[in-house]
A and B are shown apart, each in its own frame.
Chain A
Amino acid sequence: MGPLSDPGPKGSNMRFDSLSDFIAMGGHGLYVWLCYGTVMFTFILISIQPVFKRRQLLREISQIHKREQAQAANGLSSVNDESDGK
């Protein structure tokens, strides 16, 4: 690798002259993008997982509640008329 690349036009600190330069990363593109890609992929995975888990959990619990309510209503309906038929 040569010395520090020229900082480009005045006022801009962008270290790359073109998009293809940026992607190539001075020949190290494969390594750099492999790292950043894996990090991004992992981050998306570990962020989405608890969201799905939460949905599944809420669905599961609400089904249990419904079942309990239905059972309670069945048990009570003969005795109590206030159970709204649910």
Chain B
Amino acid sequence: MNWTFFHKLGSPKWLYEISSKLLPWFLSIGVSLLVIGVIWGLAFAPQDYQQGNSFRIIYVHVPSAILAQSCYMMMAMSAVVGLVWKMKITDMFIASAAPIGAAFTFLALFTGAVWGKPTWGTWWVWDARLTSMLVLLFLYFGVMSLRNAFDDTNMVSKSSAILILVGVVNIPIIKYSVEWWNTLHQPATFTLTEKPAMPPEMWVPLLIMVIGMYCFFTALILLRIRNEIVNRERKTKWVRCLILDQKAQI
């Protein structure tokens, strides 16, 4: 078996370089897709025959919610890999991803509440979908504060990985909450097996927003993971050279 890639992944310098190379691509593609998606969704997509124009909130609500959950699953996978192979990169990813995941969860909850007011007549109900999303937000906060609680890096990575893995229970609850319990929330917009229950001129901009948000999310992770690397590798020669290079550029 060829382990070269695996070993490279363990090299912070290589990871820093590849992150720097990929960053402009993800950032520009992500931002362009988001701009296209927002303009399309706000001005060109048809309004919903029941909800009118408040329906347009879907173009920010659904992508945020998808990213909020998918970020958590990525963190959970990193946590497993980190616990088994004791890699530095997985912990750096978790450190970078937790605040971003929290931000997306907050946005999903906030836009959902604002959308709920004109649609359901209330900002908030304590139903399964909304409550489990709130739990997800607290899980992100938990990971973030746990990481600040200890000084020992080993302890930080281990404890946050365990917390993340315990919290994974919440993800299927979020996903199936709309099927298991009676809820105001509508079922999933996109599924892999069925065609969306809306016309293409409605779901195409939504799909663009979802892809755009994935790219934007990746760019944010790359930005933050670079800081993590530099911070942890500050004593090494290559970080020294990097700082000298940066100064020469300014």
A-side residues, CB < 8 A to B, are 1, 3-5, 13-16, 22, 25-29, 31-32, 34-36, 38-39, 42-43, 45-47, 50-51, 53-54, 57-58, 61-62, 64-65
Q: Which residues of A contact B201 (CB under 8 A)?
A: 13
> Is B36 on the interface with A (CB-CB < 8 A)?
no
Take A36-B60, A39-B107 as given contacts and tell me if A50 and B239 are in contact as well, using a CB distance cutoff of 8 Å: no
Give the one of B100, B106, B220 with max A CB within 10 A. B220
Interface centre among B53, B100, B110 (most CB of A within 10 A): B53
Tell which of A29, A46, A62 has the most Cβ of chain B within 10 Å: A46
Q: List 8 A-B contacts (CB under 8 A).
A: A14-B43, A15-B44, A31-B114, A32-B54, A35-B60, A36-B60, A53-B227, A54-B226
A29 CA / B125 CA spacing, docked (Å): 23
Cβ of A25: which chain B residues have Cβ within 8 Å of it? Answer: 52-54, 56
Given A4-B47, A64-B234, residue A46 in contact with residue B220 (CB < 8 A): yes
Number of CB contacts from chain A to chain B under 8 A: 107
Of B46, B52, B107, the residue contacting A27 (CB under 8 A) is: B52
Set B43, B44, B64, B247: member contacting A62, Cβ < 8 A: B247
B140 contacts the other chain (CB 8 A) = no
Closest Cβ of chain B to A40, distance in Å, is 9
Q: Taking A1-B52, A28-B54, A61-B243 as given, write out 16 further A-B residue pairs in contact, using a Cβ cutoff of 8 Å, ordered by the A residue number.
A: A3-B49, A4-B47, A5-B47, A14-B43, A28-B53, A32-B54, A34-B114, A35-B61, A38-B114, A39-B64, A42-B103, A46-B103, A54-B227, A54-B230, A57-B227, A64-B234
**Which of A36, A46, A58 makes the CB contact (< 8 A) with B38?**
A36
| Nearest A-chain residue to B40, judged by Cβ | A13
In the bound complex, CA of A64 to CA of B239 (Å): 12
Nearest-neighbour CB distance to chain B for A52, whole angstroms, equals: 10
Q: Complex: how many Å from CA A64 to CA B240? A: 10
| Nearest CB of B to A82, in Å | 19
Contact with A along B114-139 (1 / 0, CB 8 A): 11011000000000000000000000
Closest chain B CB from A61 CB (angstroms): 5
Contact pick for A35, options B50, B111, B231, CB 8 Å: B111
Chain B: minimal CB distance from A49 (Å): 8
Q: Find out whether the CB atom of B111 lies under 8 angstroms from the CB atom of A1.
A: no
Instruction: Find out whether the CB atom of A39 lies under 8 angstroms from the CB atom of B44.
Output: no
